[in-house]
Structure 1
């Protein structure tokens, strides 16, 4: 019995640590993915407007200045695609490190390059670089100018995690006086080079079976036909509230799980990699065409039609006297969704008050992926917004079957509106504007800590216009910091696209009501010390202001 008691807290602590790590890891993907999305737009615009299909229809685009400009855009857009593994290897220690983040990022590059060189050494000793056949056996590819085994994003992620652990262990290390110059932060890239070189020596032995396993997963998903995209789209939506969707998405975008195939004579792995490679290739590739089933096109029915329909249903179901108060909230949520591809500001309005409605929403997202795949749509990139629809759908010509998307969006708009209106009225769900209480006073800023909630509860925008009282900005940051128990209560603070991710000393000091009154869409308490505060698209400015307040001793 005593043994069970002793093991309980330890197991709980391990789960908490693992949860915090996975949350943080998913967040680190955002920096390279954001660059990738922007570069993808440049590549899409440049490649489409310099292509013969477009210039034959729009004659003036054949003139040299236009061709030079658009070809330059396409070339610039290749930067993220070309160096993507290195970007991940730097972004992971940068995002996970608590101190000396610049040193961590620098060490990430050093470690990743060292791993490539370690693998290159083994390949040379085995004579694997002497002929084309042996190179193919080991899947040798030039990476950063080094002939090595192409471990792709997964290898870069592993390297980044190892470097992060080394950084946390050694960035404050002390050396004897004779070697003091190499101590502290300078020791991190040195140790990273040594350790990752050793890891690289093992790559030729360990990577082939791991790669075969991932490829088998990809083949299994491909064998399900359009149900693979359905499960992917639904799974991403279900993981989004807890912030682990980034890991699933990266697996499909950058590894064999999302497909693999030849594009212009080169083997490419991952749905997004295939799509970007095809943009720069005139030869059609079935693998690249199939890869879009896991990309933007599947989101568009929901992002451009479904969620706006849900927003209209919530508006119509609100009490008449409250509709004016929630109008700005709903409109900003629709704009963030349709233009930015950011869905959380709308999703968190009903996730907390009706989780079953969110499950229905996730299924409908999956059905959007299924419908787009069955109808032969081929629109790639990452966000599923109007920008992707225009750049990677309309500009690429009718071969993308972009004209199907408005039809699907219209159908999803009606379906969402009917479903949401029925459930809201039938079950009296407290979506924004349906509560007649005094909490409806939009614009009120609350700073007192009058209420606390047990750890583990999830609180969100229920009947009130949930903390959307005002658009969250710098004015609300001091109150948000106070509602989190002050700077002394915060042990770590970071953010992803829409939410603050925090660790606190004392969860009882966190006041959900004050957070919502000052702009939070919802609060998720993950365990005794970790929580997420859903803010919306302005989360970065809020986080930066809180950082400044904490630096000033608040």
Structure 2
């Protein structure tokens, strides 16, 4: 079950990869079309405004079509065969489902407690999907339908029909089966989802009322779930769906930017619920403290090499918000430190919240600057100065706490190993020994495959933003974490038969090479 949950989490993250760029475009577009920042240059009638508004509206594409994006994105990671065809099937059957649901509610809405005559949006519980008026099921509805279609695809795509019915095989057969499956699913949605919406509204009120405690618990769980690959499932509904605010915190914050930029009130008083998107503070302030502790406690003869290895992975965490390379260097050798990291991250985010500092702070410095610091610096520079003071104070706290624990318990963190060297960037050494760049890529994938027991031991493979996720048949045939570090990966997380090889942002290409070897 855990393997399936992890695979789902990784597949769900596929469309999320688009959000970072879209968020940056929206942030920059909003910045240059806000009169309070740009003055008369950004007047709605000016050519400057109109040109930047074209870019801004294009940036909204991802957030305005989230359900469709997730319906198409989930099969990429979860279909066992013919992923592209499964994407098409999922899209068509998702639209079919909503046509069924729309017709049912337009005819018998009162039976299900739905006033279908209301305008979409607000508290009506209704929305428009591909020009279909239907229940607002958000990302959850999209994932549910996509999951059903993926099951049908994996089960029926290869069904052999009589030769005279051959034209109905493959995707057509899946669509035929799914067409009739969607009818009872639509009836169940009409029956159950309005009640779920009431529950969601109640949960939203509870989360808002939890205040600082809610922020602390949320951020702690987000960090603590990283080793299991389940943190995406925790934060995605908050950031991109309607759990806290309509449309998710990312989209909601972007729409509020002009109002926030024009006000001198505290950020927290303007958008208090944006405290949940504060998971990035530990990335830009905590990770440097961890790296400094590693360098300070490293053996004297290894300090120079460790410094050269720590700098790139720390900068990756600070600017890009990708923390696995540094976190997975100590997760397995000292899991206690990772728990401490989660505790400190939650405390840092809660401190920021109590200081009135909220916003889109879940990524790295590039994302934060685009969606917060640049467009809002004019009236909120004092709060961002306070953010820097608090953040640097926690960098010091991270350093002191990690250094004390490393020395107290003699954790074998980078530079303190007795028998083997931890190599974050050993891929460079690997490349020196190989031929062409393509040969190097294939050889790297081959070494990963060998470390996982060979192609006959592979059950299935997918990936998230930085990890190659592989389920194996026999885990005893697989290599340990030091092996994967020695071949150029950042490490390997193991949970039973589920292996997550930490690659970095180039994992998609590695997966392609890996699958070609299968």
- Alignment TM-score > 0.5, same fold: yes
1:186 deviates by 2.4
Q: Which residue of 2 aligns with 1:271?
A: 249
Query: Is 1:163 equivalent to 2:145 in the alignment?
Result: no
SS of alignment partner, residue 142 of structure 1? strand
Q: Which residue of 1 aligns with 2:99?
A: 117
Which deviates further from its counterpart, 305-314 or 127-136?
127-136
Q: Distance in 1 between matches of 2:418 and 2:268?
A: 56
**Structure 2: stretches of 5+ with no match in the other structure:** 431-439
Q: Distance in 1 between matches of 2:454 and 2:403?
A: 40
Q: Distance in 1 between matches of 2:490 and 2:469?
A: 14
Q: Which residue of 2 aligns with 1:11?
A: none
1:93 deviates by 2.1
CA contact (8 A) 2:97 2:182 kept: yes
Q: Which residue of 1 aligns with 2:436?
A: none
CA contact (8 A) 2:71 2:94 kept: yes
CA contact (8 A) 1:28 1:95 kept: yes
Q: Distance in 1 between matches of 2:74 and 2:287?
A: 32
Q: Which residue of 2 aligns with 1:448?
A: none
Matches within 5 A, 1:253-272: 253-257=239-243, 259-260=244-245, 268-272=246-250
1:230 deviates by 1.1
- Change beyond 3 A, Cα 1:119–1:278: farther
SS of alignment partner, residue 435 of structure 1? coil
1:138 deviates by 5.3
CA contact (8 A) 1:393 1:402 kept: no
Q: Which residue of 1 aligns with 2:338?
A: 358
Of the candidates 304, 307, 310, which is equivalent to residue 324 of structure 1? 304
Of the candidates 376, 387, 411, which is equivalent to residue 397 of structure 1? 376
Show CA shifts across 1:274-322 (max 9, x none): 2234348799999981232111xx2343111111111011012111211
Of the candidates 101, 104, 107, which is equivalent to residue 86 of structure 2? 104
Q: Which residue of 2 aligns with 1:15?
A: none
Q: Which residue of 2 aligns with 1:444?
A: none
Matches within 5 A, 1:382-421: 382-383=362-363, 385-398=364-377, 399=379, 401-421=383-403
Query: Is 1:378 equivalent to 2:358 in the alignment?
Result: yes
1:467 deviates by 5.4
Q: Which residue of 2 aligns with 1:37?
A: 20
Show CA shifts across 1:336-393 (max 9, x none): 101110111111111112211111110111112212221222321641x111221112
SS of alignment partner, residue 432 of structure 1? coil
1:164 deviates by 0.8
Q: Which residue of 2 aligns with 1:236?
A: 222
- Change beyond 3 A, Cα 1:324–1:137: closer
1:188 deviates by 1.8
Which deviates further from its counterpart, 32-41 or 188-197?
188-197
Q: Which residue of 2 aligns with 1:427?
A: 409
1:185 deviates by 2.8
1:97 deviates by 0.4
CA contact (8 A) 2:8 2:78 kept: yes
Query: Is 1:492 equivalent to 2:478 in the alignment?
Result: no
CA contact (8 A) 2:41 2:48 kept: no
Q: Which residue of 2 aligns with 1:189?
A: 175
Query: Is 1:84 equivalent to 2:70 in the alignment?
Result: no
Query: Is 1:51 equivalent to 2:34 in the alignment?
Result: yes
CA contact (8 A) 2:11 2:463 kept: no
CA contact (8 A) 1:48 1:54 kept: yes
Q: Which residue of 2 aligns with 1:206?
A: 192
SS of alignment partner, residue 524 of structure 1? strand
CA contact (8 A) 2:28 2:370 kept: yes
**Structure 1: stretches of 5+ with no match in the other structure:** 1-17, 261-267, 440-463
1:90 deviates by 1.4
- Change beyond 3 A, Cα 1:289–1:174: same
Show CA shifts across 1:500-548 (max 9, x none): 1111222222112422211233322211x32222233333333232223
Q: Distance in 1 between matches of 2:490 and 2:120?
A: 56
Which deviates further from its counterpart, 472-481 or 367-376?
472-481
CA contact (8 A) 1:89 1:157 kept: yes
CA contact (8 A) 2:120 2:128 kept: no
1:487 deviates by 2.0
Query: Is 1:521 equivalent to 2:490 in the alignment?
Result: yes
Q: Distance in 1 between matches of 2:96 and 2:376?
A: 44
Query: Is 1:220 equivalent to 2:185 in the alignment?
Result: no
Q: Distance in 2 between matches of 1:61 and 1:364?
A: 44
1:20 deviates by 1.6
Q: Say how many residue pairs are matched.
A: 495
What is the TM-score with the length of structure 2 in the denominator? 0.89
Query: Is 1:139 equivalent to 2:108 in the alignment?
Result: no
SS of alignment partner, residue 523 of structure 1? strand
What is the TM-score with the length of structure 1 in the denominator? 0.83
1:221 deviates by 1.7
Query: Is 1:303 equivalent to 2:283 in the alignment?
Result: yes
Q: Distance in 2 between matches of 1:41 and 1:122?
A: 40
- Change beyond 3 A, Cα 1:170–1:354: same
